[in-house]
Amino acid sequence: MISLRKTATELDRLEDLNRTALNCYSSALRSTEQNAIELDAAQTAHFRAQLQALRDQLRADAGRRELESVQASFDTELKNYRDKTGEQVQKLRREVQAAAAALDSFAGSISESEVNLESGLKRELNILSQSAEKDDLQAMRGVIRSSTTKIAASIQQMRSSNQLAIAQLKDEIRLLHQEVRSARGAQTADPAAESRQQITGRMQESINKNVAFSVLVVVVRNLEGLQNCYSQAVIDSALRGFQARFENILPPATSVGRWAKDQFAAILTTAPGSAIDMSGDVVRKLTEPFQEQDQGVTHSIAFNPRAGLIEFSPGSDLAKFQAKLKQLADALAG
């Protein structure tokens, strides 16, 4: 009887420790989410959405495998965010260096102009001072006319030099703005470019290992209609939540990414039958609306997803497989 009571007490203690550990881990994720340094609003929003999704996985009955999965995902998300933030910091440093170089050039041109002007003025003032000591009024008038003409010309030259330096500075600033816009445009022109490249790389890894896999494609069929009703910021935030939820539905360590503007893809190594069953669950859960805030107003964004599966057998050609993948996506979008 005493032994049973002791065992029950020990189980209660272990359960309490497990619950405390889950709460602490969830609080750590929340603190990381809330205190993330924001250099790029879109990247930070995606990072916070991923951490929120990880916190949702920490259920009260989460066991060791769930904790290990969350830890691995958290480590990956944190490293990715660190790398992307590092790139933003480097870009800012380059922009500051370019601006500093432009200002240095501007200051140098002004300093050189001031030195030349000062020398010319001192020379003319010296001539005027010497002429004042002479008694020849006619010669003095000639010197005064010549000096005033040269001083006026020096002042005009100073104005022209400063205007040229300011124009050069404005041109440098304009070029800097163009470079920043071009860099941002390259990132936003195709929001799926980097993600699609990563997915293709994972496919190639499986091919190199001679491993069969399937690609689960999800197409958002009503994206264009939603973009006509809501701001781009709201749509982008909802799409990041869409991808995070897609990842959380699938088995841990599944490669998921954006394949095109309205398409997402996941690489599965499970049996085809299991993957087909999984696709139905994916569509059902991704149909549930996303709550997004915009200027204090909550919007309920409901996507209309359709899913399809395509299998890759070892020995097949990757280019032909990608062509079939595109055909599948186009058919799902139709």
- Looking at residue 129, its pLDDT comes to 67
Give CA–CA dist 252/69, Å, rounded.
6
173 and 205, same domain (yes or no): no
305 and 200, same domain (yes or no): yes
pLDDT by residue (tens digit) across 11-30? 666 666 667 777 777 777 77
DSSP letters spanning 176-216: HHHHHHHHHHHHHHSTTHHHHHHHHHHHHHHHHTT--EEEE
114 and 247, same domain (yes or no): no
Q: Which domain covers residue 260, as residue numbers? A: 193-333
143 and 231, same domain (yes or no): no
177 and 31, same domain (yes or no): yes
Asked which of 189, 216, 241 is the last residue of a domain, the reply is 189
Asked which of 153, 174, 189 is the last residue of a domain, the reply is 189
- Statement: residue 334 has pLDDT above 80: no
- Looking at residue 300, its pLDDT comes to 92
- Burial class (CB within 10 angstroms; exposed 0-12, middle 13-18, buried 19+) of 97: exposed
Residues 246, 218: contact at Cβ < 8 Å?
A: yes
- Looking at residue 220, its pLDDT comes to 94
Q: In CATH, what number is assigned to the domain containing residue 298?
A: 3.30.70.270
Helix orientation angle between 2-34 and 64-132, rounded to the nearest 10 degrees:
30
Asked which of 189, 209, 242 is the last residue of a domain, the reply is 189
Which among 63, 109, 139, 321 has a CA at the least distance from the CA of 215? 321
- Looking at residue 187, its pLDDT comes to 47
Name the pLDDT band for 286 (thresholds 50, 70, 90). Answer: very high
CB contact set of 78 (below 8 Å; sequence gap of 6+): 32
26 and 112, same domain (yes or no): yes
Region 247-269: mean pLDDT is: 88
Name the pLDDT band for 287 (thresholds 50, 70, 90). Answer: very high
Give CA–CA dist 196/199, Å, rounded.
5
Q: Does the predicted TM-score (pTM) go above 0.75?
A: no
- Looking at residue 62, its pLDDT comes to 66
Number of domains in the chain: 2
207 and 129, same domain (yes or no): no
54 and 138, same domain (yes or no): yes
75 and 133, same domain (yes or no): yes
Residues 289, 252: contact at Cβ < 8 Å?
A: no
pLDDT by residue (tens digit) across 42-57? 777 777 777 777 777 7
Residues 255, 216: contact at Cβ < 8 Å?
A: no
145 and 239, same domain (yes or no): no
If one compares 310 and 33, the residue with the highest pLDDT of the two is 310
214 and 317, same domain (yes or no): yes
238 and 122, same domain (yes or no): no
